[in-house]
Structure 1
Amino acid sequence: MDDFTERGLRDALAAAESPAWSVRAAAGRRLAAAPQIEGVAGVLHGLLLDAQDTGVTSDTVVALLARRDLAGLRAVLAARAVASDQGTADQLAAELDCDPRWATGQDGDELIVQLRTLAADSDSDVRKEALLRLARLR
């Protein structure tokens, strides 16, 4: 969403509660595009852990990783660390493993730097997940 107005934000937050998976997935994509996702982190976390449909999880993860910033990656790692539904946990892991930045050396290096930064995060779940991802690279 290019113009993140107050109304647009309210609409996206309302859509995150929809019974329709496609509407929740669209809300995840829209909220992930917010300039500052910290204000909607709780809603994004819920969408990432959507146990009703992994399509919601997938679309939200892809949009967050497309940000290419620490905030997006941090949100995904935080969800992966606490995912209790196996399908959701697997979907989160698959999207992390298939992040397009792994396809090229320079972009992969960018992702590794971000993981190293998050390995020192104040949230122990984020720290643990970042360390696990880094350990898999060795």
Structure 2
Amino acid sequence: MTSGLGAALAEASSPSWARRACVGRDLASFAEVPEAAEALLGLLLDAEDTAVTRQTAEALAWVGTVAAMRLIALAVAEADDDQADWLQTGVHDALVDPGDGLDVAAVCGKLARDPEEAVRRGAADISAWVVGKGF
């Protein structure tokens, strides 16, 4: 594990919401690393501040990999209504100015065949958000 990844993981439980949001953005590109994935899921479902949820979801959607979107789908499946609203906002924020190749709908299509039911359910919700907003 790189020292930068280890440092970010250590900050994932910071008492500062701003620091946790920064960690969510920093860890997004490591979504396929099990330790980072665990921390990211916790940040997506942050019980203390919705800004952490929103910014982590945006960063993961911007990365757009199957691993990144799988984490958002898991969070959606576990989220309460308020958290789900902020997860949706974070995904929409990433889609407003998509980067090259960002195709959340295509990735959700792949996740629709995931062996885990919660991932399939969350991916279906994300797909509905994307279609509903015309992305």
4+ runs of 1 displaced by more than 3 Å? 35-39, 101-104, 132-138
Structure 1-normalised TM-score? 0.80
Cα RMSD for the two superposed structures? 2.6
Q: Which runs of 5+ in 2 are unaligned?
A: none
Q: For the Cα contact (< 8 Å) 2:61–2:104, is it kept in 1? A: no
DSSP 3-state at the match of 1:114: helix
Q: Deviations over 1:69-108 (max 9, x none)?
A: 1111111111011013x3222101222344417879x967
Q: Which has the larger radius of gyration?
A: 1
Q: How does 1:1-138 map to 2 (within 5 A)?
A: 6-34=2-30, 36-84=32-80, 86-100=81-95, 110-134=103-127, 137=131
Structure 2-normalised TM-score? 0.81
Give the superposition deviation at 1:111.
Answer: 2.3
Q: Which has the higher contact order (CA 8 A, sep 6+)?
A: 2
Q: 1:87 to 1:22 in 2, by over 3 A?
A: same
Q: 1:39 to 1:13 in 2, by over 3 A?
A: closer
The one-letter code sitting in structure 1 at the alignment partner of 2:91 is L
The one-letter code sitting in structure 1 at the alignment partner of 2:75 is A
Q: For the Cα contact (< 8 Å) 1:50–1:57, is it kept in 2? A: yes
Q: 1:66 to 1:10 in 2, by over 3 A?
A: same
DSSP 3-state at the match of 1:120: coil
The one-letter code sitting in structure 2 at the alignment partner of 1:77 is A
Q: Which runs of 5+ in 1 are unaligned?
A: none
